[in-house]
Amino acid sequence: MEAAPARPERVLRGIAAAPGVAVGPGYLLLKGLAKVPKYAVADAAAEIARLGAALEETRRQIGVLRDEVARAMGPGEAAIFDAHLLVLEDAALMDEVAAQVRRRKVNVEHVFSRVANRYIRDFGRIGDDYLRERATDIRDVTGRILDNLMGNSPRARRAGEPAVILAADLAPSDAAALPSEEVLGFATEGGNRTSHSAIMARALEVPAVVGVKGLLKAVAPGDQIVVDGDAGAVVIAPSPATLERARVAAEEHARRRAALLADGGAADNDAAGAPFALQANIGGPEDLPDALAMRASGVGLYRTENLYLRLDGWPDEAAQFAEYAAVVRAAQGSPVTFRTLDIGGDKQLGEAQVEANPFMGFRALRLCLERPEVFRPQLRAILRAAALGPVSVMFPMVSGVEELRRAKAALAAEAAALAASGEAPAALPRVGAMIEIPSASVVADAIAAECDFLSVGTNDLVQYLLAVDRGNDRVASLYDPCHPAVILTLRHVFAAAANRGIPCGVCGELAGDPGWAALLLGLGADSLSMSAPAIPEVRYVLRRTDRQGRESLAGAVLASADPAATAALIRDFAAARLRARA
């Protein structure tokens, strides 16, 4: 029998989101995909047997997750998986799937998807809160079952096999569930440079291309994938020649990376000897070793919501304290800035209600101030961790002074309660506000008067200033941090902090771009916090600048009314200092 002809190589273009080149088998992540294949089958019994096998594998997976959470967080937090296991015992759902497969003679995943989606819709309409939340359990478990049912498609990946992750897009909870050691790179149909798939790729230091139209339909079982995070290209079924070029490019990227890391031994001083501060954005204790290895001067942003997303629930004070304390101890005296819970928008917990406009809805500090049963345990856990080392508290999504004062009052109340029990830190943590809403940037001077520091969250600030949802592919091209309004707003916020005598940092993704890092300091920022893998390149560029050069760049950018020209100024500034690294 002749071998099947090789599939022709196909190149798709997208947005370069994380540098480097990855080569490996494609893994099509099911969660979030709208379509499940449908085809006729002759043996209904075999399809029903496949469902049984998928149920058993899902039961095993959930059991493993439950045991891991129980060891890490305690049996109380692991109990969330009990509801997931109950879904697997729902005889009505499974019997209906089996009956439809026998009657319609179509593949079981198609029937299962349709029946499960109807259950999810029905439970979601129920008025009772407890019953309505069953929809979340069903959605989570059925996603796992579908993943296991589609074991012979490119969606399947053997455990332990490194792969290129292909998806419609990645929600924060999807990204958090991926084993980092098995991810070679990312490619997604949706998203842009500030989407969570791109942020996750940069944190893992793997190549990524986002906004790749037609990606999922183009992939076939067994395809090798090349992700070129420098050129913004994805190659499906690459030819031998393309594979060889990709491997050479990957090796060259590794050599350049080694040169950057070798430059990290000296103090963080610029070309004139002036110090600069680079901190790390992290989402859990497991991220801290990488930050310390990159010689970050501390944690500028600890995403406390990652714990909630991992559990898909509300951890109690003990669970939060255990995690926060572990980070503060491991930081060994370096400062740690905890951002209070930033749930909402594109970071939804399972029980969260669907909103017409979640980015401007019930999220972050608004949610915490209205739900003290959620806010108070977190504040207490952070305060107790502050007794172990230098800690700061940062409130997200502050829109004005009144919200900030309410948050500070809640923090002071919990500190007083802890003092009565002898658990309070010797001194209250430094308190800061994130500037990421236009109203906050306008009144930044008044907010600065209430704070010990400010930090600009550029990801949200840009989208709110420009009225561009950074997760909406139809308007993604309008998301442009080089817009003059963004530049002028940043300068205004930095000046407001300086006028009040407090520091202002940047913890958004722009801080991790070497050209932008120089510009932000030139505009008046005091510190930068970024994904740990971005630190070496930013450090390399800043060491080859001085204040005069950075302020000259800022002056040229402020004089530019053309975003494309501004982008070229920033890019060329960094490129001129990176040329010598190879």
Spatial contact of 133 and 313, defined as CB atoms under 8 Å apart: no
Tell me how crowded residue 53 is: count the other CB atoms within 10 A of its CB.
12
- State the catalytic residue, choosing from 84, 110, 196, 483: 196
Tell me how crowded residue 431 is: count the other CB atoms within 10 A of its CB.
18
**Angle CA 430–515–545, to nearest 5:** 85
Tell me how crowded residue 443 is: count the other CB atoms within 10 A of its CB.
16
- d(C-alpha 101, C-alpha 39), whole Å: 11
Spatial contact of 313 and 77, defined as CB atoms under 8 Å apart: yes
Q: What is the signed CA dihedral for 92, 97, 103, 109, rounded to 10 degrees?
A: 180
- d(C-alpha 248, C-alpha 198), whole Å: 23
- State the catalytic residue, choosing from 368, 482, 504, 507: 507
Q: Is 504 a catalytic residue?
A: no
- d(C-alpha 35, C-alpha 110), whole Å: 9
Spatial contact of 363 and 397, defined as CB atoms under 8 Å apart: yes
Beta 233-236 vs 10-13: how paired, if at all? Answer: antiparallel
Spatial contact of 106 and 40, defined as CB atoms under 8 Å apart: yes
Backbone φ and ψ of 391, nearest 5°: -130, 145
Burial of 272 (0-12, 13-18, 19+ CB in 10 A): exposed
Backbone φ and ψ of 471, nearest 5°: -100, 5
Q: Is 451 a catalytic residue?
A: no
Q: What is the CA radius of gyration of the chain?
A: 25
Backbone φ and ψ of 395, nearest 5°: -95, 125
Residue owning tokens 């930095």: 494
Spatial contact of 115 and 141, defined as CB atoms under 8 Å apart: no
- d(C-alpha 49, C-alpha 194), whole Å: 43
Spatial contact of 27 and 157, defined as CB atoms under 8 Å apart: yes
Tell me the catalytic residues: 196, 507
